[in-house]
């Protein structure tokens, strides 16, 4: 095994569940066909809501997905994590469950912005509206934000670092970045990183409505007619490995994580700050030892709120300088919606598939550029072109920023 100064981190497995497909192949096929998963919400009552659309996972039945019994008793968000983790493990070719010795050298960092909020909402409704005398005995375990990584660790025998990260819409990217740093430092040799979210519910939508950041019609990043974001659900999880560990077991290496950067605006809970977002991109590039001219594609945070899209555009211009106008950018949220804490994991997989297929996803629903949104957002149609290095941006409420840079497998 290499020493910690030269340890490199690669991706050997990916797993996704989203409003446009369960499984990476289905997800990527929908991306290339410019499909939109944002539809009228079906899983909760929208009769008295102003916002009636969402990016729901379609035709989801945990029993039909073949999840183990422990996941069948869990919250929907943990079930999503179980499905995505299973796919990532299978693609990695790693033998699971792990031996006790190998389990101590593995991590499961799987976060969620809000955890089992559907369980919590159902429980409160039972107590306060239906006047039930007690909640389901597993309510606490289903609700807590660390239940997803705990379930995954039990399933695969992961005995090393195991916990959930909470950083709103940057959760998955922070989680992947933490596993990357754990491997790089020598703490572990491999691990699952990402996030899951299943927060689509009546109460959650009412809360978001109160902030006036949701669109009643669709998610149109960087477009002149954008008028807010659209909530979605899903999960995106990566299997990360130390390079030599992957080589020794003959794993198929998908890509290398070249760099990771994270910052906090320390300015405002809602309005983003250019210093924080630009700083995270700069740190990721520095960690990767790359220049802006090396980046072939940016998967933008691109939430389609007026303030966020302008701030992200300004940040890219600051970091990329003259290169900004020549760097293709898109927001795949235009297709799968804003999966909150899980968004960065789903979008990281979009970056990896872009590199594998030499194809850049589109920003669909783009009519004409919004004010100050004057970069190349790959409007409406994806592109076939050589893709070697990609960047994935996640910028959350509270000014919590995280950025990943991916590159080709080490030779």
CA distance 285 to 223: 27
Contact 239, 80 (CB under 8 A): no
Catalytic residue among 162, 169, 351, 373: 169
Q: Is 351 a catalytic residue?
A: no
Q: Is 338 a catalytic residue?
A: yes
What six digits make up the tokens of 344?
Answer: 């960065």
Residue 227's nearest CA partner among 244, 206, 213, 239 is: 213
Sign of the torsion angle spanned by Cα atoms 35, 37, 42, 45:
negative
The length of the chain is 411
Catalytic residue among 151, 338, 351, 373: 338
Query: What is the DSSP track for 235-261?
Result: EEEEEEEEHHHHHHTT----EEEEEEE
Contact 185, 246 (CB under 8 A): no
Contact 110, 175 (CB under 8 A): yes
Q: Is 301 a catalytic residue?
A: yes
Catalytic residue among 151, 174, 245, 301: 301
Residue 107 main-chain phi, psi, to 5 deg:
-130, 155
Catalytic amino acids? 169, 301, 338
């Amino acid at each position: 095994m290499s020493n910690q100064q030269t340890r490199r981190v690669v991706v050997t497995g990916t797993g996704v569940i989203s409003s446009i497909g369960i499984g990476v192949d289905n997800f990527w096929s929908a991306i290339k066909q410019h499909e939109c998963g944002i539809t009228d919400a079906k899983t909760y009552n929208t009769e008295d809501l102003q916002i009636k659309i969402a990016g729901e996972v379609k035709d989801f039945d945990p029993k039909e997905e073949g999840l183990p019994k422990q996941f069948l008793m869990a919250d929907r968000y943990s079930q999503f994590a179980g499905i995505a983790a299973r796919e990532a493990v299978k693609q990695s070719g790693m033998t699971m469950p792990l031996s006790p010795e190998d389990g101590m050298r593995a991590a499961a960092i799987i976060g969620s912005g809000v955890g089992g909020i559907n369980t919590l909402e159902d429980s409160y409704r039972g107590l306060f509206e239906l006047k039930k005398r007690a909640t389901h005995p597993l309510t606490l375990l289903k609700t807590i934000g660390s239940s997803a990584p705990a379930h995954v660790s039990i399933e695969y025998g992961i005995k090393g670092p195991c916990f959930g990260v909470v950083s709103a819409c940057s959760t998955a990217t922070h989680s992947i970045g933490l596993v990357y740093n754990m491997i790089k430092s020598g703490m572990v040799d491999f691990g699952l990183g990402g996030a899951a979210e299943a927060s689509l519910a009546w109460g959650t939508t009412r809360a978001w409505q109160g902030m006036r950041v949701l669109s009643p019609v669709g998610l149109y990043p960087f477009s002149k007619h954008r008028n807010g974001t659209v909530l979605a659900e899903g999960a995106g999880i990566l299997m990360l490995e130390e390079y030599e560990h992957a080589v020794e077991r003959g794993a198929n290496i998908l890509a290398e994580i070249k760099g990771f950067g994270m910052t906090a605006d320390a300015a405002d809970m809602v309005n983003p700050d250019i210093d924080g977002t630009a700083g995270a991109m700069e740190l990721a590039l520095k960690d990767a030892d790359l220049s802006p001219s090396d980046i072939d594609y940016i998967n933008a945070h691109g939430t389609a709120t007026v303030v966020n899209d302008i701030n992200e555009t300004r940040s890219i211009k600051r970091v990329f300088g003259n290169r900004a106008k020549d760097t293709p950018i898109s927001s795949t949220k235009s297709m799968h919606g804003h999966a909150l804490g899980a968004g960065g994991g789903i979008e990281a997989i979009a970056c990896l598939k872009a590199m594998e297929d030499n194809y850049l996803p589109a920003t669909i629903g783009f009519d004409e550029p919004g004010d100050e949104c004057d970069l190349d957002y790959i409007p409406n149609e994806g592109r076939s072109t050589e893709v070697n290095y990609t960047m994935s941006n996640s910028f959350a409420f509270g000014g919590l920023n995280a950025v990943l840079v991916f590159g080709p497998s080490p030779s």
